[in-house]
Structure 1
């Protein structure tokens, strides 16, 4: 996702009621990861990262345990991850990642948001060459030199390391998720979040007026209960 939108979203998340907005999304991420790779975090890097992300957002242990129990239960909802694509004004391309137990409901809701807010739905795969699927980890910035850390992480599949002040952003190939996650653990880095993201290959710059014009669309998408993440090609 474009960095300008990341900052705007971070500000918005600070205003969200965590119990009603953030926690259910984090619980879904835990449940999906556990169903895909098992409920043992030591053996499931995606689950380990989903739990670390939830803890970083101060999600109670009871909520985390409940999500794991749902993943284990035969009567739990069958949650699917599905993405939707659209184009909006000013050359903005959008990928919406959802986790849902009702694909018909989610598809109808997302398409309605697109249509009511100036976006045109696209066939899935239309944006395949405009974004790259990467694993992205956010960690607390360690005391050791960034150059030294970068050399150590290259052995685990690091492609890019960005210094973001209090945090560092670790980026690797799609299939390096487990390897990089293990490297982060071995180097004793404090993980704040870790997931697979769609990063734009050629980000575009927008002025403040253009971003404000798109804000209602992006906010509506993020507010939907089934939406896990919204990615754009905004720089």
Structure 2
């Protein structure tokens, strides 16, 4: 399993039933609130909000929760969240990027640093591992939208850098500076995307030994369990055997 966070290659998460679902909804709601506060409450005129709502719907977040988060962002009592990125090395020298939305930078920094230290990692300065990743705009559509050849033609017309079709979906990627334009061009041709957003992608991934992989996943579990952490991305791969073991 590759260590980046987009749909078909999400990093492994153990099923924790309702507790995990509740925490996921909380993080999705936070992103919706921030997006709503930064722009208009109408997703048709607020691309970031539209992407946040799509992500929430993908996880079956109730409509009422989504609407509450939007209204909260438009209210005067909405918390001020800062977007912060932490970079460091996990077990085995795995490069990790931790993206956060927080209303308390001091608390979040302490929590993230403590997690890295507990599992043999080390938090670094901004840019310490970022050079190993690319920041990409990613827009996905279901296979029912057309063939791979048709998607390639549409990608060229929309200005996307690449489209990858697999057994699950069509995935369009582009540079951050044209993300909004490419998404709009794709939506004009294909309708509303199944998902869209800005993601870090490792330029290369490395297969880690199973013992290292187990410790690494414990670190990632702790980080993702933190309410302030929105996403963890790494340049690792896990063996099929370890994936099977962790899934038991």
User: TM-score scaled by structure 2?
Assistant: 0.85
| Paired residues of 1:32 and 1:80 also in contact (CA < 8 A) | no
Instruction: Give the C-alpha shift of residue 112 in structure 1.
Output: 1.0
Deviations 1:139-198 (A, max 9, x none): 322241112112212222312222231222221111222122213322235633222111
Q: Which of 177, 180, 186 is equivalent to 1:178?
A: 180
Q: Which of 69, 72, 75 is equivalent to 2:74?
A: 72
The aligned runs of 1:131-170 (5 Å cut-off) are: 131-170=133-172
Distance 1:4 1:14 in 2: 20
| Paired residues of 2:2 and 2:235 also in contact (CA < 8 A) | no
Instruction: Give the C-alpha shift of residue 137 in structure 1.
Output: 2.4
Q: Which of 125, 128, 138 is equivalent to 1:126?
A: 128
Query: Structure 1 residues 79, 126: CA separation in 2 closer, same or farther (over 3 Å shift)?
Result: same
Moved more, 185-194 or 138-147: 185-194
1:43 aligns with 2:45: yes
Distance 1:126 1:40 in 2: 38
| Paired residues of 1:45 and 1:181 also in contact (CA < 8 A) | no
**Equivalent in the alignment of 2:108:** 106
Distance 1:107 1:9 in 2: 22
Moved more, 74-83 or 144-153: 144-153
Aligned residues: CA RMSD: 2.2
Distance 1:5 1:128 in 2: 13
Query: Structure 1 residues 10, 168: CA separation in 2 closer, same or farther (over 3 Å shift)?
Result: farther
**Equivalent in the alignment of 2:2:** 3
Instruction: Give the C-alpha shift of residue 128 in structure 1.
Output: 3.0
Instruction: Give the C-alpha shift of residue 117 in structure 1.
Output: 1.2
Superposition misfits of 4+ residues, deviation over 6 angstroms: none
Unmatched tracts of structure 2, length 5 or more: 238-248
Distance 1:31 1:134 in 2: 23
Q: Which of 44, 54, 57 is equivalent to 2:56?
A: 54
Instruction: Give the C-alpha shift of residue 16 in structure 1.
Output: 5.5
Unmatched tracts of structure 1, length 5 or more: none
1:26 aligns with 2:28: yes
